Structure 1
Amino acid sequence: MDMASEIHMPGPVCLIENSGEQLLVNQEALEILSTIENPVVVVAIVGLYCTGKSYLMKKLAGKQKGFSLGSTVQSHTKGIWMWCLPHPQKPEHTLVLLDTEGLEDVKKGDNQNGCWIFALAVLLSSTFIYNSLGMINQKAMDQLHYVTKLTELIKSKSSPDQSDVDELPNFVSFFPVFVWTLRDFPMELELNGRSITPDEYLENSLALRLGTDEKTKRLNEPQMCIKKFFPKRKCFIFDSPADRKQLQKLEFMGKEELNKKYVEEVEKFTSYIFSYSGVKTLSGGIIVNGKRLKILVETYVSAISSGSLPCMESTVMTLAQIENSAAVEKAITHYEEQMNQKIQMPTETLQEVLAMHRTCEMEATEIYMKNSFMDVDQNFQKELGTQLEDKLDAFVKKNMDMSSAQCSDLLARIFGPLEEEVKQGTFHKPGGYYLYLQKKRELEKKYKQTPGKGLQAEEMLRKYNESKEEVAETLQKMDQSLTEKDKQIEVERVTAEVAEASRRTQEEMQKKYEQLMKKKEKSYQELTKQLTEKMDQEQKVFMAEQDRIISLKMQEQERLLKERFKAESRMLHEEIEKIKKVKSSSSCTIF
């Protein structure tokens, strides 16, 4: 049974602890993620403290209790808390809810960790919820200043000379959908005398102020960043859930005790999140499961702890190294298990080993391709090919060794009595030499007719006969019934027989070698073809991703032109041209 289907956490656990001085990863949470094979839909929520974030996450979890709620001005959640649940609408998917500590906790002097919590929520999620109270006004935008720090906290490329301007277009490929939830909204949604939707309200609130002075630029910065980083945006507006005095016991209130309109709005919100929140993916369409999410968490927090910036390119490369190495190991383990189970050694022909190798090799290659990605330099493909070739050689040798051992035992059993007769002098008499040869030929016939000897049957018989040549020569010399001419003829016959046996052995060995080499070459060509096709498919995904980014950027450019922001529109146009240039020149990279 897939471990992922067994994920039923009774409650959330701390994923990343904020100790005040540094961020620490909780090993218990990582162990939970490491068991999740299914793709993950990651929904993270951030916002100021005491704005009801945890309540919304509890509703997404479908539980009456869950994430801790702070009923006072003290922020209750420290760091990032995680709750993994079976997705309510997507079979074989896991919903991962991330609740974060309140931003700008009044008891914290240094807000750097708050910035990192915000950045990590963006990096880890596929849907990013920003929760705030009241309307979207300049105060609300100022409180969202964290979004303006993202280019200072996150890198998309590992190149040291990469400028912030170059970074901006790349973020879109791995940033989540942005959902702004407005709690206790005090007004009716109207604009110029007509009703508008929450989404229209959000877009109108993100409209830029006209002006080129520094103050206007500073005021426009949060809006510009949201537009650039999060082309896909959604807004939900909620009435107050209950009277102010009742809010302190919100966690214990039933649905019937809450404001009816608020309950309806929460249901719309949860329905949208369940239906439209996508699987967490990385640049190049790489689907994230629990194990990969674990690596992302470890890599990002490690980068922050070491004083560097989380880098998407480096993280994906790290993930690829870990996953591809594990994929090779998994493929080779499967190959060995299947070969050991399905081949009864020793086999009578080499073809039996090669045929089973082909079957197990195809299965192993399929396992590797399913579990690997972004093997740009084909290093892991080469490693897989080398290991499969080495394993084949090992099985061929094992097959030969088992045959040799079996033949050796059989020869000892069959020829043992004859050797005992030789020792006792049974053939030390006239005619004894031919009597010895007759018995020896009868025993050779018995040996050849015995099944299950394997590939080394003839070679081991040849070696046995070679080891007994001295015995035959002695008996021949002692046989007084043989003339010198008879002895000479017999020497020539035996010499010719030995030479013929050696020739047949060499010919058979050369045939087996050529058969093995031919199979290896065919295996290499087929492996290369399959993995090249996989890389081509990854490239197509990358191209489609670039087209999507260009389309989203062009839509934003059109909005800016309508709003008469020509300078910002030109900047966006430059970004689009850069993406097109990367797309046209790229042949293998997904960044």
Structure 2
Amino acid sequence: PGPGYVTKLTELIRAKSSPRSDGIEDAREFVGFFPDFIWTVRDFTLELKLDGHCITEDQYLENALQLVPGQDPQTQTSNWPRECIRQFFPRRKCFVFDWPVSDPQLLAKIESISESQLNPNFQKQLENFCSYIFSHATGKRLGEGILVTGSRLGNLVQTYVDAINTGTVPCLENAVKTLAERENSTAVQKAAEHYSEQMAQRVRLPTDTLQELLSVHSACEKEAIAVFMEHSFKDDQWKFQKKLVVTIEERKKVFMEQNESASLSHCQAELDKLSASLRESISHGTFSVPGGHSLYLEARKKVEQDYEQVPRKGVKASEVFQNFLKSQITVEESILQSDKALSDGQRAMAAELAKKEAAEKELELMRQQQEKKEQEIEAQMRSFAENMTQLQKKMEMERENILRDQERVLDHKLKALKDLLLEGVEEKYEDLRREIKLRDEEIKAMKHSSIQNILEIAGNILTEVLPVVCNMGMQILSSYIVG
């Protein structure tokens, strides 16, 4: 590379959307994006010695990267590639390889010879190289430990190409943001689909109780949130997690409606069958005789007892039977009034008893409806708690990744500072020392910072789409955010 390599790099691509005025300073941000540097030297014929002492392959590389003293153009040209490699690649490794064969004739047909004909030293060096690659090489990552998968790489390339075609300078930071938008949207879709698929597999409609449905919902939601957390990144304003909360709430509501509809249909069909003989007796005037009211009550009680024995009636069981009783009020009053075996006083007592029983059943229905509301509230509270728990875990992991990356870069810069002192290159010493001080302060601040306040902001955002939790206000947030 020529002397303008670093400046040229920042003209072609930027690490930050708001770069510093100093091109070199901005270039140092690339350290967080660049991979490890592995230098392989083929057909190596030199001795691994320095000043008469044996050195390792890595020491050979570091010695080759030492800056040559001097400010003349030729020296600067010689130093620039060394400086760039040292700046951009904190982790460096070197492997040297002997000639694969010593016989020139075999070398001419190297691709067709057997492995046994290869130089034993070359084979050992190759084995060491492969072992290192398989055990130490990592996948391409963006800042904050974001792994670049095949689909992410495709999206990144598309983003860079779009930027170049529009005449703008590609920016790594902006590319990551664009990638995050796409990936997070896909993460919401994957999580929502997982929820729907698992609910459909695990729930048999109608469920005996609402709680049975909500328990399965909580388990499936927990898995869905985990799917989202696995595939999402840099959801800084929690826009996509909020969208997931909304989506799962909507799908939960659909399952609840389907559950109620299945229960309603099932209960109505069973009750119609069980009450068929009662309706037939009424139409034939079976109860329009002295003592008919008592006969009617017995027949209706038999319908109620048989109905109670029907399995898996579901959440609409009481409501369906209550509606049935309401439909019988006029019939019962007619039978009661025409029963000549009863005195006026007995008729009045029977009518009063019927009103009392109807009121009790109405109260029981109201109690069940209130219980349903409480269960729905608890489900939303569990939803909020699970979202916050998994979000906190993810944020703590991301902070650890950021700290690890920052400390890695800081260690690299400290080593570079030490090398500058040893090599007597003083003109860049002060700039690098100031940068090290600022980065060290950033790391210390991050270590002592708490994510509590951030979680409270996230909690407020997520509760906007959970009406029950939102109405309960901030008093509930503290109990679900672990300090």
Report the TM-score when normalising by structure 1.
0.67
Matches of residues 51-70 of structure 1 in structure 2 within 5 Å? none
Q: Considering only aligned residues, what root-mean-square deviation do their CA atoms show, in Å?
A: 3.4
Cα distance 1:269–1:447, how it changes in 2: closer, same or farther (>3 A)?
Answer: closer
Q: 1:516 aligns with which of 376, 399, 403?
A: 376
Between Structure 1 and Structure 2, the one with more strand by share is: 1
Cα distance 1:552–1:301, how it changes in 2: closer, same or farther (>3 A)?
Answer: same
Matches of residues 26-105 of structure 1 in structure 2 within 5 Å? none
Shift of 1:416: 1.4
1:475 and 2:369 are equivalent in the alignment: no
Shift of 1:299: 3.8
Q: Which residue of 2 aligns with 1:407?
A: 267
Shift of 1:443: 1.7
Q: 2:201 aligns with which of 329, 341, 354?
A: 341
Cα distance 1:190–1:540, how it changes in 2: closer, same or farther (>3 A)?
Answer: closer
Q: Any idea what the Cα deviations from partners look like across 1:59-80, whole Å, max 9, x if unmatched?
A: xxxxxxxxxxxxxxxxxxxxxx
Q: Which residue of 2 aligns with 1:48?
A: none
Shift of 1:404: 1.5
CA distance in 2, matches of 1:446, 1:198: 87
Give 3-state SS (helix, strand or coil) of 1:251's partner.
coil
Cα distance 1:196–1:351, how it changes in 2: closer, same or farther (>3 A)?
Answer: closer
Shift of 1:559: 0.5
1:351 and 2:211 are equivalent in the alignment: yes
CA distance in 1, matches of 2:119, 2:312: 82
1:170 and 2:65 are equivalent in the alignment: no
CA distance in 2, matches of 1:437, 1:163: 94
CA distance in 2, matches of 1:154, 1:549: 20
CA distance in 2, matches of 1:196, 1:427: 111
Q: Which residue of 1 aligns with 2:464?
A: none
Moved more, 530-539 or 187-196: 187-196
Gaps of 5+ in 2: 455-483
1:276 and 2:136 are equivalent in the alignment: yes
Matches of residues 478-557 of structure 1 in structure 2 within 5 Å? 478-481=338-341, 485-557=345-417
Cα distance 1:159–1:420, how it changes in 2: closer, same or farther (>3 A)?
Answer: farther
Q: Which residue of 2 aligns with 1:397?
A: 257
Match of 1:277, as an amino acid?
A: A
CA distance in 2, matches of 1:339, 1:164: 54
Give 3-state SS (helix, strand or coil) of 1:567's partner.
coil
Shift of 1:492: 3.5
Q: Which residue of 2 aligns with 1:206?
A: 65
Match of 2:411, as an amino acid?
A: S
- Say whether the 8 Å CA contact 1:330–1:368 is kept in structure 2: yes
CA distance in 2, matches of 1:245, 1:302: 50
Cα distance 1:248–1:147, how it changes in 2: closer, same or farther (>3 A)?
Answer: farther
Matches of residues 352-431 of structure 1 in structure 2 within 5 Å? 352-431=212-291
Moved more, 579-588 or 422-431: 579-588
Cα distance 1:298–1:251, how it changes in 2: closer, same or farther (>3 A)?
Answer: farther
Q: Which residue of 2 aligns with 1:562?
A: 422
Match of 2:399, as an amino acid?
A: Q
Shift of 1:408: 0.4
Give 3-state SS (helix, strand or coil) of 2:234's partner.
coil
Give 3-state SS (helix, strand or coil) of 1:284's partner.
helix
Cα distance 1:154–1:250, how it changes in 2: closer, same or farther (>3 A)?
Answer: farther
Match of 2:171, as an amino acid?
A: C
Shift of 1:357: 2.9
Q: Which residue of 2 aligns with 1:224?
A: 83
Cα distance 1:299–1:202, how it changes in 2: closer, same or farther (>3 A)?
Answer: same
Shift of 1:302: 4.3
Shift of 1:165: 3.6
1:318 and 2:178 are equivalent in the alignment: yes
Give 3-state SS (helix, strand or coil) of 1:451's partner.
coil
Q: Which residue of 2 aligns with 1:234?
A: 93
Q: Which residue of 1 aligns with 2:443?
A: 583
CA distance in 2, matches of 1:204, 1:329: 52
Give 3-state SS (helix, strand or coil) of 2:32's partner.
coil
CA distance in 1, matches of 2:161, 2:117: 42
Give 3-state SS (helix, strand or coil) of 2:312's partner.
coil
Q: Which residue of 2 aligns with 1:110?
A: none
Cα distance 1:412–1:181, how it changes in 2: closer, same or farther (>3 A)?
Answer: same
- Say whether the 8 Å CA contact 2:222–2:386 is kept in structure 1: no
Q: Any idea what the Cα deviations from partners look like across 1:262-293, whole Å, max 9, x if unmatched?
A: 55554444444334323333321233444444
Moved more, 496-505 or 334-343: 334-343
Matches of residues 135-174 of structure 1 in structure 2 within 5 Å? 149-159=8-18, 164-174=23-33
Cα distance 1:250–1:435, how it changes in 2: closer, same or farther (>3 A)?
Answer: same
Cα distance 1:442–1:180, how it changes in 2: closer, same or farther (>3 A)?
Answer: closer
Shift of 1:535: 0.6
Give 3-state SS (helix, strand or coil) of 2:330's partner.
helix
CA distance in 1, matches of 2:136, 2:367: 67
CA distance in 1, matches of 2:441, 2:189: 38
CA distance in 2, matches of 1:447, 1:175: 71
- Say whether the 8 Å CA contact 2:6–2:23 is kept in structure 1: no
CA distance in 2, matches of 1:260, 1:147: 41
CA distance in 2, matches of 1:393, 1:541: 38
CA distance in 2, matches of 1:197, 1:339: 59
Cα distance 1:422–1:161, how it changes in 2: closer, same or farther (>3 A)?
Answer: farther
Give 3-state SS (helix, strand or coil) of 2:138's partner.
coil
Q: Any idea what the Cα deviations from partners look like across 1:373-405, whole Å, max 9, x if unmatched?
A: 333323333333333333333333332222211
Q: Which residue of 2 aligns with 1:574?
A: 434
Q: Which residue of 2 aligns with 1:447?
A: 307
Q: Any idea what the Cα deviations from partners look like across 1:87-106, whole Å, max 9, x if unmatched?
A: xxxxxxxxxxxxxxxxxxxx
Shift of 1:479: 4.2
- Say whether the 8 Å CA contact 2:7–2:24 is kept in structure 1: no
Shift of 1:421: 2.5
- Say whether the 8 Å CA contact 1:284–1:541 is kept in structure 2: yes
Q: Which residue of 2 aligns with 1:436?
A: 296
- Say whether the 8 Å CA contact 1:407–1:457 is kept in structure 2: yes
- Say whether the 8 Å CA contact 1:206–1:223 is kept in structure 2: yes
CA distance in 2, matches of 1:185, 1:304: 41
Gaps of 5+ in 1: 1-140
CA distance in 2, matches of 1:325, 1:291: 14
Match of 2:372, as an amino acid?
A: K
Q: 1:181 aligns with which of 40, 51, 73?
A: 40
Cα distance 1:453–1:244, how it changes in 2: closer, same or farther (>3 A)?
Answer: same
CA distance in 2, matches of 1:306, 1:257: 55
